[in-house]
């Protein structure tokens, strides 16, 4: 990505959601349940890697959630682009407690949705709250900005990427899960630049 070329002191940060996982294909509440990619998911990741390779897109570092669906996506992309890869558990999906890995029918029996959800309500009775996920995502952003400016690829999950965008755009989690939602489909990516000298975030691209 070229944002840091235009702004020499800027960070260029691309958020990428993983390819289709077995959990996606089976319509399960994944959370931190560790589902691998499907063959379709691998093909999605490879297609994106091929596209970026053809366009000359490059990164100086990739940071991925260690969960299989993200890690496998990151491995496919970084191998194609020859980008160093590391893992950070702060980019894992929300811990959704008793919901992890369940279908809609199972959730209705085990941990039905509360009538009202505050930002502090724990998902699946024993998991994280949206507020905790927001703080974790903010910490993950902080760790990027503690590094020297460069081009970073983050491979993660829809929930944590939404909260990272909340942290970047100064949006706070709201009651009953209201507020904006950024629709990261499988291998959707978003590109941002950040200029610390002026505290300017720019969204440069949001691609499905």
Question: Known catalytic residues?
Answer: 18, 93
Q: Which residues contact 135 (CB under 8 A, 6 or more apart)?
A: none
H/E segment holding residue 112: none
The Cα-based distances of 180 to 71, 120, 147, 174 in angstroms read 27, 18, 29, 9
CA 89/CA 193 separation, integer angstroms: 23
DSSP secondary structure letter of residue 205: E
Exposed, middle or buried, 166 (CB in 10 Å: 0-12/13-18/19+)?
A: buried
Whether the Cβ atoms of residue 106 and residue 54 lie closer than 8 Å to each other: no
- Any bridge partners for residue 11, and if so which? 194
In DSSP terms, which residues pair with 21 in a beta bridge?
A: 37
Question: Is the distance from CB of 46 to CB of 110 less than 8 angstroms?
Answer: no
């Amino acid at each position: 990505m070229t944002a840091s070329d235009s702004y020499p002191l800027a960070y260029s940060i691309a958020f990428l959601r993983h390819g289709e996982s077995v959990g996606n294909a089976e319509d399960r509440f994944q959370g931190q349940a560790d589902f691998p990619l499907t063959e379709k998911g691998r093909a999605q990741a490879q297609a994106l890697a091929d596209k970026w390779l053809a366009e000359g897109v490059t990164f100086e570092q990739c940071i991925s959630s260690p969960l299989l669906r993200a890690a496998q996506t990151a491995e496919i992309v970084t191998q194609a682009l020859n980008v160093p890869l590391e893992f950070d558990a702060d980019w894992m999906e929300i811990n959704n407690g008793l919901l992890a890995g369940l279908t809609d029918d199972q959730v209705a029996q085990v941990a039905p949705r509360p009538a009202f959800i505050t930002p502090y309500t724990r998902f699946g009775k024993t998991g994280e709250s949206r507020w905790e996920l927001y703080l974790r995502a903010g910490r993950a952003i902080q760790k990027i900005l503690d590094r020297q400016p460069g081009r970073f690829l983050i491979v993660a999950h829809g929930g944590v990427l939404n909260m990272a965008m909340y942290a970047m755009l100064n949006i706070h989690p709201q009651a009953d899960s209201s507020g904006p939602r950024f629709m990261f489909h499988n291998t959707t990516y978003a590109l941002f630049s950040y200029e610390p000298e002026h505290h300017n975030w720019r969204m440069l691209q949001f691609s499905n």
